[in-house]
Amino acid sequence: MRKLLLAFPIFCILLGCDDGDVIVTSFDFDDVDLQFCTGADSYVFFKINDQAAESLSLLTNIDEDDLKDEDQLEVQLNGTSNFVTYRKYTSEVTSDYFCNDIPPASPEVTIEYIASSGIATFTKEITRDDNDGVEEDIDDDLDTDMDGIPNYYDADDDGDNVRTAIEIGTGDEPQDTDLDGIPDYLDPDDDNDMVLTRYEAMGTLDPTNIDEDESGVADYLEILVVNSDPIDEYAEHSYTIMSNVLIFLSDLVLQSDSEVITQESLDFDSITNIVNEPETMIPDFN
């Protein structure tokens, strides 16, 4: 991202100046990682060039939900809640400068340009993972239990209120208790006793805790132990959502006192796993 931007003082446009009055500013952030900090209602994205004691930053009032939405996001710079800043300092600056509520007094800012117009475009790559130990194609919309959640991030693929991570078992092959050729994690009646696994939970949402004959094996896995308490409701389950983001700046107009810099396009770089956290949900029962 090495760009040469020419800034002409306004009085030069009116009165004329020689070449010595032209200010040349060089952005050199090619080998610098894009970093970020979060606030109560904003994100700050920034790059620091230690060798030149300069920084380029974007303050925006987007929130985490914006970064978890798969749609591309365009933010209009307005000079208040959304703006870009280029600064040079008296000495090396650290991330603390951007991540503290009150910026430190040192180093001092020697040059500052602020872009209050332009567009910041966020392109996101969203990944969801149920961490269930089953290799599943994220491009496959297979939804075994038809609960509206594709298997690849559905923590309970067959909708029987026993998590797939439990039902897959510990062997080389997925567990198949009733030997019907359907692995337990895809089988709504694991012991083939003609009672849905979900119904063998004594009115609760956890069949794994019900063992009426105290055999040490849950009823939903014992064909000779039958209890049925129909409950058509899904238990809460979770998955991990991860988001990578690519930020592109366009149509920037940076100003400092009487000086103006325009920049049509600037690749601000990307951040991997800017979001990486669990999501909990209860699917609607259809």
pLDDT at 72 over 80: yes
End-to-end CA distance of the chain: 51
**Residue 14 pLDDT class (50, 70, 90 cuts):** very low
Listed residue (165, 236, 235) closest to 205, CA to CA? 235
What's the rounded Cα separation, in Å, for the pair 183 and 180?
A: 8
The answer on pLDDT for 205 being more than 70 is yes
The first and second tokens of residue 31, run together, are 């080998």
Is residue 13 over pLDDT 80? no
| 138 Ramachandran zone, left/alpha/beta (phi>0; psi -120 to 50) | alpha
Separation CA 157–CA 247 (nearest Å): 35
pLDDT at res. 36: 96
Helix (H, G, I), strand (E, B) or coil at 165: helix
pLDDT of residue 173: 94
- Evaluate whether 236 touches 283 at the Cβ level (below 8 Å): no
pTM for this model (two decimals): 0.82
Tell me whether residue 3 is exposed, middle or buried, using C-beta atoms within 10 angstroms of its C-beta: 0 to 12, 13 to 18, 19 or more.
middle
The pLDDT value given to residue 6? 42
Q: What would the pLDDT profile of 17-55 be if each residue is shown by its tens digit?
A: 344 343 435 567 878 999 999 977 899 999 999 888 999
pLDDT for res 17: 39
Residue range 236-251, pLDDT digits in tens = 999 999 999 999 999 9
Of 197-201, 215-219, 282-286, the range with the lowest mean pLDDT is: 282-286
Q: Which of these ranges, 12-26, 119-133, 201-215, has the smallest mean pLDDT?
A: 12-26
Contacts of 9 (CB under 8 A, 6+ apart): 17, 21, 23, 258, 259
Tokens of 142: 């297979």
Cis amide bond preceding 107, omega within 30: yes
Task: Tell me the pLDDT of the chain averaged across its residues.
Answer: 88
